[in-house]
Amino acid sequence: DTGVSQDPRHKITKRGQNVTFRCDPISEHNRLYWYRQTLGQGPEFLTYFQNEAQLEKSRLLSDRFSAERPKGSFSTLEIQRTEQGDSAMYLCASSRGLQPQHFGDGTRLSIL
C-alpha cells in the first residue's frame, strides 16, 4: 500500500495560465475525491468519482475547473485561466467504498 500520490507538490504559475494536477489513489480504491484547502481553513470538498464516474461536484467547482478519471484509476484536475483566488493546497483522497478517506500530501498552487 503506497498511499495516495499527488504530482506536482508545488506549482507556481502566472495568472491566466492553465494548470493540471495529477492524483494516483491507493490501488483498488474505487472512490477518489478532490478538496481545496486555503490557509488557516479545513479542506473544502470539490468533487468525487466512483470508478470513472464523476458523481458529485461542489458549487466551488467553477466552469474553469474540470476533473477527470478516465480509466477509474488516476485522476487529473485542471484549472483554466487561473486567478489569484485559486491559490491554495489541492488535496486528493481515496477510499474503498464507504471506508475512511486517505489523503495525499497535496499540490500547493501559487498564482503570481
Partner 1 sequence: GEDVEQSLFLSVREGDSSVINCTYTDSSSTYLYWYKQEPGAGLQLLTYIFSNMDMKQDQRLTVLLNKKDKHLSLRIADTQTGDSAIYFCAEIMDTGRRALTFGSGTRLQVQP
What is the contact surface with partner 1 in residues (CB under 8 A)? 4, 6, 31, 33, 35, 40-45, 48, 55-56, 58, 91, 93, 95, 98, 100-106, 108
Q: Which residue's entry shows cell 484509476? A: 73
Min. distance of Cβ 16 from partner 1 in angstroms?
Answer: 27
> Which CA distances in Å does 75 have to 37, 85, 101?
18, 23, 16
Q: Which of 31, 82 has the CB closer to partner 1?
A: 31
Min. distance of Cβ 85 from partner 1 in angstroms?
Answer: 19
Among the listed residues 71, 72, 90, the one whose alpha carbon sits nearest the alpha carbon of residue 19: 90
